[in-house]
Amino acid sequence: MKNNPLIGVIGAGSWGTALAVLLAGKGYPVQLWGHSQDHLDALINDRENLKYLPGIIFPERLTPVNQLKKAVEGTPIIVMAVPSHAYRKVFLELLPFLCENCKIISAVKGVENASLQTMTQLMAEVIAEHGLSNKKIELGVISGPSFAKEVAQGVPTAVTIGFNNLKTAKEIQKIFVTDFFRVYASRDIIGLEISAALKNIIAIAAGVCDGLGYGLNTRAALITRGLAEIQRLGIALKADPLTFSGLSGLGDLILTCTGDLSRNRKVGLKLGEGKTLAQVKNDMMMVAEGIKTTKSIYDLAQKMNIEMPILEQVYNIIYKEKDCSKAVSDLLKRELKVE
């Protein structure tokens, strides 16, 4: 791979913008695409993302573009940072422009509602259905404890890049790494994606407990038992158990359950304080992936007959309007177990 390949970043929210800034700051030519023309016009004029990531000036090599074709055609590396509910639609639109041997990295922490697929599973299916397997497109994921604002500000951060081919993971690892952004390589794509999706659900639960006024004991117990649920589902999906004690597992879980910048924790916090889900959504400018992913993972757990009591209570709170205090009480009253 040549020294400074063109990189397309699809999704101009906070995370997509942060990764585009990071890569362009290293000298890579980056094309940043967003779905809203008004938003893109603002990015072009302001040279910063005032809506989602204010205060971060774009490096010279970052170019906002208004067409997927411009962002993707002839581009050997593509970063997908669109929400999970829009992922399939956007991927189908850019599919005709993908070049041979390109590497696509999902930066999305969610599972599609309809198919119950992770983003790499979704892309693999779409590529096969459209007869493009001969293009030898490689699919990967970036995951780990990384708030977009802090990454854009250059705060020391560590994440993991996963590809089935470890050689490819190491190639992409070198492209993303900086003196403040440490990157590890992995082959466990499914483990990274399941960890990333589920930690958002546990973070909603942590926020609920904080909103109800419970203490640090409660939060610690919730994180620990939440990790057990993530492991249970992940191992059933053939993930590497060691992934769950790593950056994408325990690392991201701690960050998202405790950090004030966590959108999913804020959702739970407001629910615990007595707001309705409609009110919470109305107050939010950015997407909290955990809301939709709660339904996806609940359906997946039911399909696979995996016991996930915290997930079940979060699902009941969000989709059945269960009282938050009652949900916690029901968790504590469950049959006693051996750890």
Which residues carry out catalysis?
199
Which residues 6+ apart lie within 8 Å of 320 measured at CB? none
Phi–psi pair at 227, nearest 5 degrees: -60, -35
Residue type, 308: M
Which residues 6+ apart lie within 8 Å of 295 measured at CB? 113, 315, 318, 319
Rounded Cα distance between 165 and 31, Å, is 26
Residue 243 CB-half CA count within 13 A? 29
Query: Could you tell me if 81 and 23 are in contact, meaning their C-beta atoms sit under 8 angstroms apart?
Result: no
Query: Could you tell me if 19 and 151 are in contact, meaning their C-beta atoms sit under 8 angstroms apart?
Result: yes
Residue type, 149: K
Residue 183 is classified by DSSP as E
